[in-house]
Every structure is written in C-alpha cells, then in structure tokens.
Amino acid sequence: RRLWVVRRLSRAEIAAQAAEVLRANDRGSLTVAAPRLYPHMWSWDAAFIAVGLARISPSRALTELETLLAAQWGNGMVPHIVFSANAPLYEPGPDRWASQETSPHAPGHAATSGLIQPPVHASALLRILEAARGAGAAERRDVLARIRALWPRMLAWHRYLAERRDADGRGLLMIYHGWESGMDNSPRWDQPYADVVPDPDFRPFRRSDLAALGEQAQRPTDADYVKYQWLIEELRQARYDDELARKSLSFRVADVFASAIFAAANEDLARVGEALGLGAGDELLGYAARFRRGVLGTTDEDGFAADVDLRTDTTLRTKTLAGFAPLLAGGLDADRRRRLVALLHSPAWCGNPDLAYPLPPSTSPQASEFDVARYWRGPQWPPMNLLLIWGLERSGEHDAADRLREAALHQLTDGVFAEYYQPFTAHPLGSRPQSWTAAVALDLAC
C-alpha cells in the first residue's frame, strides 16, 4: 500500500487555491461541475458550489442558484443538468433528452435533462443568507431582494418533490434513475438495476466519460451504462410525466438519503422564509416532519437507514453511506443516535484501520460490493463529508462533527480538488479540478 504523499497546503493556501478553481470553472452566470468530464451545470453540484462561493461573495453564490432555477420546469421540477452551449461533448447531451419536444413542462429557453438530483439547494440558500448578513449594506440589500424574488421557485421545487415524488405521502422521495440519487453506481441500486432490461433492439450511444477521464476502473461499467441510457429512453417514452413514470418505469426506488436531505432542506427553507417574512413555514415544517418520519421508518436497531424498491416493496439493506441518512434528517432518539454515531466511528466505517483519513467511504470496506476505486462503490466524496458534518451538527453531535471536519479538510490539503479519493491511499481519483470539491474545501477552510 503506497500512500499518496504530497506537500500539504496551509488553510489559507487551500482557500486561495479553491477560490481559484471556482474562478477558472466560472462561465459567468454558472460554474461548470468540472471543465472536461462535466462541462455543464449540475443541480446538486450547483448547491455545493453556492455554499463555497458564499464564503467569497454571497451575491455570486446566489447567481448560481438563480441560473439553476431559471431552468426550472413548469411543474416545479429542477433539472439535474442545465446544458451550456459550445461546451465539450458530454453524453447524454440535449438531443438525447429531447425535453422541449417531449414535455410541455420543459422550459423553452434552456436545454436541460429530465431528471432531478438531491435537493440541497435550500440548505445552500440559508448559508447564502447567513453570509449576506456579514456583507456590506448594498450587497446585503441586493441579496435579500433577490432571495425574495427566487422564493416562489424554491417553494415550487419543494412542492413538486413533496407532491409528485411522494404522491402517497410516505415521506420518501421516489427516484426514476440512479443518477437522481447522485450516487449513480452505488450498491444501493444493484438489485433494482437487475430488473432494468433494455429492449433487444436498443442501440446504446458511445460513452463520452471514458474519453474525458481515461480511467475505466474509476467509472461505472459498460453494463451499467447501457441501463442508464435505456432508462432515459423509458422516461422519454413516458413523456417525463410523473403520473406515467410512477407506473411504468422499470426503476422506481425510494431514496432514503435524498429524503433525509429534503427533510433538512425544508427546515432550512422555513428558516429563510421566517427571516424574510415570506410565510409557508407550517407547510415546509410539515414536509420536514413527514420526510423525517419516512427516513426513520426504514431504520434498523442501530438507526441505520435503508432504501426501498417501490416496484416490489422490498427494503434494500446495503452497507453504503446512505444508511447514515437519519443523522441528516434528525429525529432519532438519543440512544439510537449514539449507536449510529458509534457505527460511523467503527471499523466498518471511519474507524477502519486501513483508511488514510477517518472519513466515510461511499461503501463500507466490509461490504462484499466494496471497490476501492470505482466511483460510488468505495471512494470518499468530499461533499458527502460536508452533508454528514451538517447532519451531525444538526443532531447536536458536535464532537463527531468536529472530528469529521478536521479530517475532511486535511484530506483536501493535497490541493488537487479531485472528484473522489481512494480511501486507503488518499490518491485523488476521477475528474479534477472538480468544482464541488473546491467549494467544500473553501467552506471548510474558512
């Protein structure tokens, strides 16, 4: 085992270099997720990027959310990709989605995908609001006025999720594609994907990700990709209509991690609304309570949560990071919360003796599916550390939050700002420099 050894940056150097990465990936009113592999705007990346940018300029941070929400669909859906023109090739591009031709809800002025990603946006908005309080009077006034203007879109996004993605009110968000979870090839989805069988005459298109990255072992497999592409075909056939999708798609899963993010995001949006006198507090806190209950309803005796395959009503108990969802959503009784935090520190997770940094791998090293380099099947992902830090703080677990914060920052002192990290050697993996990693570094370093 060869550890990745580099000159470590100081806190001030990390902040400066991270800011430089975000500047270089800035295309004016949006920040590309990464210059080569992801040359467009991604939904949850944009939220993390806004959190980082808020440390430099609350106004520019808000622009990120404004650009994303300007591409919102008429039914409130916020698309997972907003395409920029003249960017390097990324597949599936706008033609594959054909959203404007297919759905009456798709915006006429923006090319977008037809999926969602986890709703971190309101949590980003709250951080922008907090950062604006420390800004000069003119910027503060401007940011507050723009948050008011954005409010109806944020509310419509949360209503879309609560009404269209949890139609039966069980407090869990339904997703139609592994990409909607943001954890594309996580073992969480192995079982549901086993039932996704493309039509025999389906012709998959060429992958652009392998050419952009060149590291096949760090990306999903070809077999995975055919299914990812096929599900887009199914969605298009369902005209991106939630009524139809909910009944017809061959992938329909309740995503417990996104549901926990949504529970927290509703509380955060309610706080923004309260601070600006915008109302809707009862509605938002009602959603928060519903999704918190939904998440808690999937937990085992340690408080570890599970996804649910909604086609078969099967609980999917996998050893992935998503199991810590209750720490994000809150609501565990003190005893089980302590057990869940102990599990987080145990050898199955951050306490694993082989780890270079005590940070949660995306999949437990003790799981049979663990793969040290392959994307969401093992590597550590900086934005997930940030979500857990927020969750631990929200749950009152301040010592655990501090430990995680220190390790997460230390990992990023290599100054590479990689998409993900090899957990045993700390080698930077995937695309680089990745904007959301720079944003997390900036937030942690400030």
Which of 17, 22, 31, 38 lies at the binding interface for ligand 9WN (CB under 6 A)? 38
Q: Choose, from 184, 209, 234, 267, the residue flagged as catalytic.
A: 184
Instruction: Indicate whether 45 belongs to the interface with ligand 9WN (CB under 6 A).
Output: yes
Any idea how long the chain is?
446
Residue 255 annotated to the active site: no
Give the nearest distance from C-beta 115 to ligand 9WN in angstroms. 8
Give the nearest distance from C-beta 431 to ligand 9WN in angstroms. 7
Which of the ranges 38-46, 156-164, 286-294, 324-332 carries the binding residues for ligand 9WN, by CB under 6 A?
38-46
- The angle formed by the CA atoms of residues 325, 392 and 77, to the nearest 5 degrees, is 45
Residue 45 annotated to the active site: no
Per DSSP, what are the bridge partners of residue 41? 82
β-strand pairing of 428-429 with 420-421: antiparallel
Which of the ranges 41-49, 262-270, 334-342, 402-410 carries the binding residues for ligand 9WN, by CB under 6 A?
41-49
Shortest CA distance to 268 belongs to which of 6, 51, 12? 51
Instruction: Indicate whether 209 belongs to the interface with ligand 9WN (CB under 6 A).
Output: yes
Closest to ligand 9WN by CB, 175 vs 400, is 175
Contact letters (x/-) for ligand 9WN, 46-85, by CB under 6 A? Answer: ----------------------------------x-----
The upper half-sphere exposure of residue 356, i.e. CA atoms within 13 Å in the direction of its Cβ, equals: 21
Give the nearest distance from C-beta 438 to ligand 9WN in angstroms. 12
Q: Choose, from 45, 242, 419, 443, the residue flagged as catalytic.
A: 419
Give the nearest distance from C-beta 153 to ligand 9WN in angstroms. 20
Instruction: Indicate whether 182 belongs to the interface with ligand 9WN (CB under 6 A).
Output: yes
Which of 19, 33, 126, 288 lies at the binding interface for ligand 9WN (CB under 6 A)? 33
Give the nearest distance from C-beta 184 to ligand 9WN in angstroms. 4
Which of 44, 97, 304, 417 lies at the binding interface for ligand 9WN (CB under 6 A)? 44
Instruction: Indicate whether 42 belongs to the interface with ligand 9WN (CB under 6 A).
Output: yes
Closest to ligand 9WN by CB, 97 vs 179, is 179
Buried b (16+ CB within 10 A) or exposed e, 415-446: bbbbbbbbbbbbbbbbbbbbbbbbbbbbbbbb
Instruction: Indicate whether 179 belongs to the interface with ligand 9WN (CB under 6 A).
Output: yes
Give the nearest distance from C-beta 31 to ligand 9WN in angstroms. 11
Which of the ranges 18-26, 40-48, 160-168, 256-264 carries the binding residues for ligand 9WN, by CB under 6 A?
40-48
Closest to ligand 9WN by CB, 35 vs 182, is 182
Shortest CA distance to 258 belongs to which of 182, 352, 156? 182
Distance CA(183)–CA(214), nearest Å, equals: 20
Q: Tokens 């920052």 label which residue?
A: 409
Closest to ligand 9WN by CB, 45 vs 268, is 45
Give the nearest distance from C-beta 67 to ligand 9WN in angstroms. 16
Distance CA(355)–CA(3), nearest Å, equals: 10
Which of the ranges 42-50, 135-143, 247-255, 316-324 carries the binding residues for ligand 9WN, by CB under 6 A?
42-50
Give the binding site for ligand 9WN (CB under 6 A). 33, 38, 42, 44-45, 80, 179, 182, 184, 209
Catalytic residues: 184, 419
